[in-house]
């Protein structure tokens, strides 16, 4: 079996809320996704995808995916798509770094490998751990009251895991967490994720977030009672620094 053709499709994915915002005034209003199809000489087709969250969230950007695939494609034609380790060595030799470019190609090859083996890819990778998994909902950074309203709406839709985009004004961030905590119930999980796009936070902001993290980590059982007495029930709250 040999790779006969590699096709990259560009797809715009509009956002349900219209835009996705985080600290520093950064936002996106559409996800620019690349779908990769790898065709083999025996008629199989494998698919992969790469969808960066804009060009300033992680070191990846949508046009870079397609440019990189154009660079890599000629080196992969005629190779066996089931030899995934060999293909990754070829890609690393032909293009240094840019793992996000190689990822959808790797996915598509694993898709083909699963078709050949007659097995789900998860089984090839070590096994299926469950029949289902819990989704979380990322909450775009807007005014604290509006973020709490969005969390309540999504909780009514069935979500129980929430990731708040914070970072910027520490007083507003604390208010965001307070208001959101008040609409959650026992067993819900809340993550506050401050992202500054690689810039150093001001000392006051960093200290405030660190104090929030230390309090949460050391007092999870008393969090709601001591910090926000008006909240209806305890919940799990954590903070990721990035």
List average pLDDT for each run of 10 residues in the chain, which is 242 residues long: 96 88 84 96 97 86 94 97 97 96 97 97 91 88 94 94 87 89 90 60 46 43 42 42 38
User: 183 and 80, same structural domain?
Assistant: no
pTM higher than 0.85 for the full model? no
**Claim to verify: residue 107 and residue 61 sit in the same structural domain:** yes
Instruction: Say yes or no: 112 and 7 in one domain.
Output: yes
Assigned domain for 132 exists: no
What is the span of the domain harbouring residue 197? 137-239
Does residue 91 lie in a domain region?
yes
Termini Cα distance of the chain: 43
Q: Would 129 be classed as within a structural domain?
A: no
pLDDT value for 235: 42
CA 188/CA 109 separation, integer angstroms? 38
Sign of CA dihedral 154, 19, 50, 48: positive
Shared domain for 96 and 191, answered yes or no, is no
Long-range contacts of the stretch 141-147 (C-beta < 8 A, 24+): 141/21, 141/22, 141/23, 141/165, 141/166, 141/167, 141/168, 142/21, 144/172, 144/175, 144/176, 144/178, 144/179, 145/179, 147/176, 147/179, 147/180
């Amino acid at each position: 079996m040999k790779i006969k053709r590699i096709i990259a499709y560009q797809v715009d994915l509009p956002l349900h809320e219209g835009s996705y915002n985080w600290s520093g005034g950064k936002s996106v209003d559409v996800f620019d996704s690349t779908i990769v199809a790898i065709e083999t000489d025996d008629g199989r087709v494998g698919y992969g995808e790469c969808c960066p969250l804009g060009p300033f969230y992680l070191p990846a950007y949508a046009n870079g995916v397609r440019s990189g695939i154009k660079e890599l494609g000629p080196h992969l034609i005629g190779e066996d798509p089931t030899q995934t380790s060999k293909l990754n060595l070829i890609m690393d030799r032909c293009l240094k770094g840019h793992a996000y470019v190689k990822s959808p190609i790797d996915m598509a090859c694993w898709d083909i490998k699963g078709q050949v083996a007659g097995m789900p890819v998860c089984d090839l990778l070590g096994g299926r751990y469950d029949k289902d998994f819990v989704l979380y909902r990322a909450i775009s950074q807007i005014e604290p009251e509006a973020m709490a309203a969005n969390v309540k709406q999504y909780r009514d839709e069935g979500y129980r895991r929430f990731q708040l985009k914070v970072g910027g004004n520490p007083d507003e961030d604390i208010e965001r967490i307070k208001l959101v905590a008040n609409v959650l119930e026992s067993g819900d999980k809340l993550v506050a994720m401050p992202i500054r796009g690689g810039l150093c936070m001001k000392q006051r902001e960093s200290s405030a977030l660190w104090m929030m993290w230390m309090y949460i980590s050391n007092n999870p059982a008393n969090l709601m009672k001591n910090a926000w007495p008006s909240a209806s029930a305890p919940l799990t709250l954590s903070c990721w620094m990035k």
